[in-house]
Structure 1
Amino acid sequence: MMTPKNDGSAVLCIGRIYCDLIFTGLGGFPQLGREVFAEGMEVAAGGGAFIAAAHFVHAGRRTALVARLGTDPLSAEVESQMRASGVDLRFIEHSTEAGPQVTVASVVGEERAFLTRRAGGARPSTLNEGLSWDEACHLHIAEYATLHEIPNLVSLAKAKGLTVSLDPSWDEKLIRDPGLIDACKGVDIFLPNLEEAEAMTGQRDPEAALENLSRAFPLVALKGGANGAWLKSGGRILHVPAQKVPVVDTTGAGDAFNAGFIDAWLRHAPQEQWLQAGIHAASLAIQAPGGATVFLRAASPVRDA
């Protein structure tokens, strides 16, 4: 595993950007032929890359997105929110083909159901420019689907001297692909949740899943939601319990965890603090609809119906 550079270095986040339509206050999930009414709805900038980037910025780390964004009205609203977050957008490619990308999230208690539309390809024309940014020390890949579309992404980042993290992120077509782990070769920090880890390894027990994944990755952080998080590094397994906070929406909690964890790792903090920082960031995220909305309320009007 590569050693992180100095604490003053910036982070790049790559992945698809979505306009999240988040419905809350539901009595149950929609069923065929029946209509369900929500008490609240939020329009929020989404996607793992942006949510992680917003939490990196909140932690005081300069962060830039490397991504594509549409030119439609929903994409324009997303861009306005991203600017309000303080994330650096210099490496955003604007293209009519890239939007609108939308996720409809139905939230019932701590459970969620998603309906998503992707648009265009994931590889931005700004990729080489972003990876060459002299302030960057680390690349965070927000979902395996992006790496699947850009299979040389890790090697390109390593050639620029960057450390690399990856959240596999659930994708029904890809998560059980037997070639997934091999395709992630070179990743320094692997960040699945329990469901993803079980799908990849067949192991339901967190420590057994960690043992399996640590054969391929030098550092694995396993996210367990209300059960906290686990870390396997150098033969050592650590566990930190979740914080007890009011839960409004768990969308983006894993992406927030990623940012907190990686930031602490980049700061060369003790290993226990890596997990604590990740859990703290996730705890912030779940107290408002949308993974990064908690940082936008003071900066821009929020739509709440």
Structure 2
Amino acid sequence: MSNVSSAPEGGVLCLGRTYCDLVFTGLSGLPVLGRELFADDIAIVPGGGAFITAAHLTSFGRPAMLVTRLGTDPLSGSLEKAIVESGVDLTFAERAQDAGPQVTIAIVQPQDRAFLSRRAGHGRPATLAAALRAPGIRHLHIAEYATLAELPSLIDLAKGSDLTVSLDPSWDDTLINDGNFLDTCRGIDVFLPNVEELMAIARTDDVAEGLQRLNDHFPHVVLKRGADGGTLAQGRERIERHAPRVPVIDTTGAGDAFNAGFLHLWLSGAEGAACLESAIAAGSRSVQAAGGASILAHGSKPATRRAGEPR
């Protein structure tokens, strides 16, 4: 069981789907139809923004509870050992036959990656209502807009439990251009897009203009800029920080680690600059191993280049 109720600053619910990530690294290029391509290495790890953010929050010493549906198939079952070892609280993880197998294939290149995923079942855990009422919980992090689109009353439910709420939109070709996107997100306290997501949601190619448009809807917009670091927009204030130089193995899940770094200090009442610096540090740490939370088990390595730069 969790020690959330004894946490002086409160715990975090991380809501979203949990995937089995098959991360292929050391590729000479991207796959081409009709041809076979071989990778130097593969990592088979738990994935999904909810788990990765929860794992990094736990590594900071903040209680984090994963609110998700886990399959009962062998592939889904193989993830539980690694999830438990991460320290993430599984009190509100529902096991259901239709929730798996849920898989993401990540094809990693030096400066980017491509994904192929399968969603399974629906995204509303039977444990959600109980999780929102759990003692000691202060914040709800929604790991992808797809979850919010599926549960449009979610923000109101969280606010009814006096929780603050954050959202990582997480690119979805079908949903990113949803005309009701901003209305559905009404009430979000911290919005955490990357540059591509910001421009699509704000309907502009100008990042500064996009930040202003989104800041009109959300009190805190935290923009992930990859190798360029990040920008925090809150009211008229703009804070920018660069990323450190680190050896890049895999950028999968780095944005979810970034989320954890920001939220941990934001929930502690830290100044915006400190929150942004914590976010960038967490994202930069994440890219140094294959899989968004793997670095927590392997440990960090000395910095040699900016995150996102070629090896």
Shared fold, TM over 0.5: yes
Corresponding residue for residue 210 of structure 2:
209
Corresponding residue for residue 303 of structure 1:
none
Corresponding residue for residue 53 of structure 2:
52
Letter in 2 for 1:152: S
Distance 1:95 1:39 in 2: 35
Distance 2:180 2:219 in 1: 18
Distance 1:208 1:7 in 2: 38
After TM superposition, give the deviation of residue 297 of structure 1 in Å.
Answer: 4.1
2:11–2:137 contact (8 Å) kept in structure 1: yes
Letter in 2 for 1:148: A
The correspondence of residues 211-230 of structure 1 with structure 2, limited to 5 A, is 211-230=212-231
The correspondence of residues 258-277 of structure 1 with structure 2, limited to 5 A, is 258-277=259-278
Distance 1:29 1:208 in 2: 34
- Tell me the percent identity: 52
Corresponding residue for residue 103 of structure 1:
104
Q: After TM superposition, where is structure 1 displaced by more than 6 Å over at least 4 residues in a row?
A: none
Distance 2:209 2:244 in 1: 24
After TM superposition, give the deviation of residue 7 of structure 1 in Å.
Answer: 5.2
Distance 1:205 1:242 in 2: 21
Corresponding residue for residue 128 of structure 1:
129
Corresponding residue for residue 74 of structure 2:
73
After TM superposition, give the deviation of residue 197 of structure 1 in Å.
Answer: 0.5
Corresponding residue for residue 94 of structure 2:
93
Corresponding residue for residue 33 of structure 2:
32
Structure with more contact order per residue of length (Cα contacts < 8 Å, sep ≥ 6): 1
DSSP-derived class of the 1:248 partner: coil
DSSP-derived class of the 2:91 partner: strand
Gaps of 5+ in 1: 1-5, 299-305
Supply the RMSD in Å over aligned alpha carbons.
1.1
Structure 1-normalised TM-score? 0.94
1:84–1:296 contact (8 Å) kept in structure 2: no
2:9–2:267 contact (8 Å) kept in structure 1: no
After TM superposition, give the deviation of residue 206 of structure 1 in Å.
Answer: 2.5
After TM superposition, give the deviation of residue 111 of structure 1 in Å.
Answer: 1.1
Q: Spell out, residue by residue over 1:210-266, the C-alpha distance to the aligned partner (whole angstroms, 9 max, x if none).
A: 101011111100111011100111210111011110000000010000010011101
Structure 2-normalised TM-score? 0.92
Distance 2:56 2:270 in 1: 18
Gaps of 5+ in 2: 1-6, 300-311
Distance 1:83 1:253 in 2: 20
Corresponding residue for residue 302 of structure 1:
none
- Counterpart check, 1:146 vs 2:128: no
Q: How many pairs align?
A: 293
2:73–2:100 contact (8 Å) kept in structure 1: yes
Distance 1:274 1:207 in 2: 20
After TM superposition, give the deviation of residue 271 of structure 1 in Å.
Answer: 1.0
After TM superposition, give the deviation of residue 209 of structure 1 in Å.
Answer: 1.2
Distance 2:265 2:206 in 1: 26
Letter in 1 for 2:35: R
- Counterpart check, 1:200 vs 2:211: no
Corresponding residue for residue 17 of structure 1:
18
DSSP-derived class of the 1:54 partner: helix
